[in-house]
Each structure stands twice: as C-alpha cells, then as structure tokens.
Amino acid sequence: MKKEELFEALGNMDETDVGKAKEYKRHKTPAWAKWTAIAACAAILVGAIVGIPALGKRNRKQAEGSVKTVSATYPAPVAANLDAQAFLHGDEHWNWWNAYRTKVKASEDLQNGIDGYYATIMREILPSGEENTVCSPINIYITFAMLAEVSDGNTRQQVLDMLGAPDIETLRSNVSALWESNYADTPVLKSLLANSLWLNGKYRYHDETLARLSEQYYASSFCGTPGSPEMDEALQEWTDKHTGGLLHEYVKEMKLDPATVLEIVSTIYYKAQWTELFLPGNTTQEVFHGTTGVTTVDMMHRTDMLGVYRTDTFTSVGLNLFDSGSMYFFLPKEGVDVNALAADPELLAATRYSEDNVKWSSPLVRLSVPKFQASSRTDLLEIIQLLGLTDALDPAFADFTPLTTDRDDLYLSAAEHAAKVEIDEQGVTGAAYTALDMETGAPEPDDKIDFVLDRPFLFLITGRDGSVLFSGIIRNIG
C-alpha cells in the first residue's frame, strides 16, 4: 500500500466509520496510551511518514472495542468480465501470461535455496498419527518472514536460520519473488495471498516497521482492543474471507487474548483447474485401504502420457494445472510407511524435472485418483522450538524492538497453522492461514474488578504527609 493511500485511508475515517469498522479484523503502561487508545495506531502508522501527527487527536473519543482498519491494496483481478474460456482464447490471457512468466522465472531461480526449509517444515508437520494432515509451507514462510521484520538481534537470526535465509535483505527478496510469482487473480487461476496485523491500541508502534509490512508484505492493519467482541469478529471475518470460507471450522474459534500486543495472520486461497479434466462419467465407487480401515470412495480415472518419477521408496505422478504448477501424488512402495515419505530426501526432486535424471520417464499411465478433502490444524510452537526458534518464546530473551519499545517483555505466545485441500474432476482448491500472537510477559491489570470486604482485612490510615496514623486488621465485626 502506498504511503499516500495509507494516509488517505486513515484520514478519511471519522468516528462513525470507525464504530462500524469490521473490515479485514514489567513496566507501567504509558499515560498517553490510556487517552489515545485505538487512535494511537492511526497516528503512529502515518505520523512520521507524512509528518502530520495530529491525526491521533481527532479520534480520541473513539469507542472502546471499535476496530480501526487500514486495508492493503492488492493487484486488481485480470479480465474479471470474462469467463474462463473467453479468457484462455483471447489476448488478455496472452498479455497476462507474458508478464507473469517473467515473475515466475525470478522465483524459480531462488527455489533451491528454499528447498531446505520446505523439506524441514513438511517433515515436522505431516507425519502425525492416523489423521489426515495438511500444511502450506509458503504460507508459514511468509508469516515468519513478517515475524523477522518485527524482531531483532538473536531473535531475528533464529527466524532467518529457520527459514534458511542468510540475512534479512535476502529474506525480503525471497518473499517479494514468492509473492509476485504466486499471486494470481484470473478467470482460470485464483492464487490469492493476504497478510494482516492485529494491533493493541494501547501501544505505540514504530512507523518504519509498520510501513514496510504494509508496502512490501501487503499487510492490512487492524487496531483496537484485543479480546473485545468487535475485534474477534473482525479477525474471524477477515480470515474467513481470505481463505474462501474453507477453514470456517477453525476460523470461528480464532480469538485475540486481551494481553495481545500484535497478532500476525497470513492467508492463502488457491483454486486451479486441471489442464486435462477427469470426466465425471469415468468416476466409479472403489475401495480405499486406509490405516484405520477400509472405505468406499469416489475414484476418478483417466489414461494419459504423464511424467513419472520412480525411486526405491515411492513412485510419483504429476498432473498439470492451468497457468499454475502441478499436483504430485506420491505412492509409497510396498512395505514403506507413508509417514517416512515426508522426510524422504528425493521428495522435492520429484517436483523438479531434469532430463539428466534417469528416474524420470513419460509412460502411458492409467491413473486412478480418489476425490478427497483433507484439513488439519497444527500448533507450531513445539515445532519451531525444535527448529531452533527459542528466543522469541521467552520474554527474557525475545527482541521485538523493531515493533515497539513500549514493552520489553513481549514474546511469541501462540503459533497456529491450519490448511485444507480438496480435489475433484475439475481441479484443486485449497486454503491456509498461519497466526502468530505476541503478548506481554505479564498479564495486563483488569480495568474493572470486584472488591468485597466480606472476610478479614487490613487497613491503614495516613496523614497528609503519608505518615501511617493507624493500622489494623479486622477479623470480626459485631
């Protein structure tokens, strides 16, 4: 989002707009925070950028619990007035593809440097009990890249190490390339990435950090009172919208803890067609032998010349998707545990075609694929600790000074990832979100308490100078 657009979006919001906003959702607290509350975020976000700090004063009467919103500007949809067939056979598709393939090439060149991260995150998340497991490595990568932007020192270095990036500049370049090559909004392909920041209105945030997240990461900002119904509803609505409603079963449980200082939420929604469709008339009822028993499934069938990759542990087949990549299916050899494939060193090699690799072939394949939908939700905290990201989880060591210096006891209190993939005769649909919650090391005091002297208590009576004139303990009355 451009700086001018950021200022305009904030500057045009009056108190009525703010009250309606539900768009896509141990030191003393500084005295100014009690007065500026939600308005603080608006002022900090643009004050130093455009040199007009007075913006905060105008909104000081903003109602508690309302949500201040600054939405990122995403690329406009391509040929939104056309259907898929008209788009594919017209100049609009050719023009879009010429520009898009340049972006794809830039990202292809850096994939080898990210493969180590891909392999690690899949190895840690996918082998898990008897339930289906799904994850989005790119979604997790972008989310933790944003965490690197709000951290510093050894905390940042541990994030960089986990992502396999030598420095923050390289990470920024990687994210930019990944975003440009994986964001598409056409009549044929939906690959929509989105980011958001959920800010506690009681704190001041460094404008340079927030501006970078807005401009380079397309991060919308939402400022309000964490734990309020309004902010929880905005969070759920934003996440549901940007995951196409596919993860509603998980999204409806998303809530912000009152101690939250910042929550980062990143999403992806993906929908692509097979280049060669499965004919619905060829779908039959077949038996599927699962780890917990035998079931009957809808099995799709087609016969075609396909790329096949064979190793001692698996056979892989890839199916192309219009204007996108491919979906690869890995079938373990007899006697090989499917969980072991997640850590197989040749897993990613099967997605990188090479004429020199004799394991590749193009036979006629009689393919049978079950229609399915699978979803899972994963707590990432234990996983990221295993990957060396430990400082962020400890308020004594975490360094989030690029975000704010109002508190020095911030730490990463929660990290959650949810994903869903479903396939049918037409193609593939998927969605994922990753949410990182940063809180203070000690809970904030409640604004309202019950104080009932219905049991023994102590009292003091002081003079004007503070001298203790009387003191006592009341144990019984009457």
Put simply, whether the predicted model's pTM sits higher than 0.85 gets the answer no
Q: What is the reported pLDDT for 131?
A: 82
- DSSP bridge partners of 428: 272, 423
Give Cβ neighbours of residue 207 (< 8 Å, ≥ 6 apart). 44, 45, 46, 47, 48, 49
| 12 contact partners, CB below 8 Å, separation of at least 6 | none
Which of 151, 140, 149 lies closest to 117 in space, CA to CA?
A: 140
Within 203-274, residue ranges assigned H as helices are 207-217, 229-242, 248-251
Q: For 281-309, what is the mean pLDDT?
A: 90
> What would the two tokens of residue 297 be?
């499934």
Helix, strand, coil shares of the chain as percentages rounded to 5? 35, 30, 40
Take residue 358 and report the two structure tokens written for it: 């004799």
With beta carbons less than 8 A apart as the criterion, state whether 385 and 417 touch: no
For 3-46, what is each residue's pLDDT tens digit? 344 434 433 433 333 333 333 333 333 333 333 333 345 433 33
Are 251 and 240 a contacting pair, CB within 8 Å?
A: yes
Count, residues in the chain: 478
Token digits for 106? 């830039």
Contacts of 384 (CB under 8 A, 6+ apart): 144, 162, 392, 393, 415
Amino acid identity of 321? L
Domain boundaries along the sequence of the chain? 84-273+373-440, 284-370
DSSP state of 321: B
**Beta bridge pairs of residue 376:** 419
Tokens 């479903």 belong to residue = 422
Q: Tell me the per-residue pLDDT of 365-414, one tens digit each, with 9 for 90 and over.
A: 999 999 988 899 999 999 999 999 999 999 999 999 999 999 889 999 99
> What's the first-to-final CA gap in the chain, in angstroms?
69
Nearest residue to 434 via CA among 271, 221, 239, 259: 239
Place of tokens 């208590």: 457
Average pLDDT over residues 324-339: 89
φ/ψ of residue 473, rounded to 5: -125, 125
Contact in structure between 145 and 375 (CB atoms under 8 Å): no
Residue 186 burial (CB count, 10 A): 22
pLDDT tens digit sequence for 75-108: 999 999 999 999 999 999 999 999 999 998 888 8
- Considering the chain, what percentage of its residues have pLDDT values greater than 90? 57
In contact, 131 and 374? CB cutoff 8 Å: no
Alpha-helix residue ranges (DSSP H) falling in 73-198: 84-88, 91-108, 111-125, 137-149, 153-163, 168-182
Please tell me the distance from the alpha carbon of residue 159 to that of residue 161, in angstroms, as a whole number: 5
Give the least confident one: 52-56, 148-152, 268-272, 439-443. 52-56
Higher pLDDT, 16 or 244: 244
CA distances for 173 relative to 41, 86, 98, 145, 168, angstroms: 28, 35, 22, 11, 9
- Cα–Cα distances (Å) from 97 to 91, 102, 106, in that order, read 10, 9, 14
Tokens 């500057």 label which residue? 11
Residue 462, by phi and psi: left (phi above 0), alpha (psi -120 to 50) or beta? beta
Rounded distance between C-alpha atoms, residue 286 and residue 297, angstroms = 5
Beta bridge partners of 273: 427
Provide CATH code, domain 284-370. 2.30.39.10
Helix H, strand E, coil C: the string for 180-216 is HHHCEECCCCEEEEEEEEEEECCCCCCHHHHHHHHHH
Residue 416 amino acid letter: E
The pLDDT score that the predictor gives to residue 276 is 93
Strand order in the sheet with 308-310: 326-332, 314-320, 308-310, 360-361
Q: Is the pLDDT of residue 464 over 60?
A: no
Query: Could you tell me the fold of the domain covering 84-273+373-440?
Result: Antithrombin; Chain I, domain 2 (3.30.497)
What local confidence, expressed as pLDDT, does residue 282 receive?
Answer: 95
Question: Residue 412 in 3-state DSSP?
Answer: strand
Which distant-in-sequence residues (6+ apart) come within 8 Å of 160 by Cβ?
Answer: 148, 166, 167, 168, 171
Q: What's the pLDDT tens digit per position in 187-201? A: 999 999 999 999 999
Mean pLDDT of the chain: 82
- Identity of the amino acid at 219: A
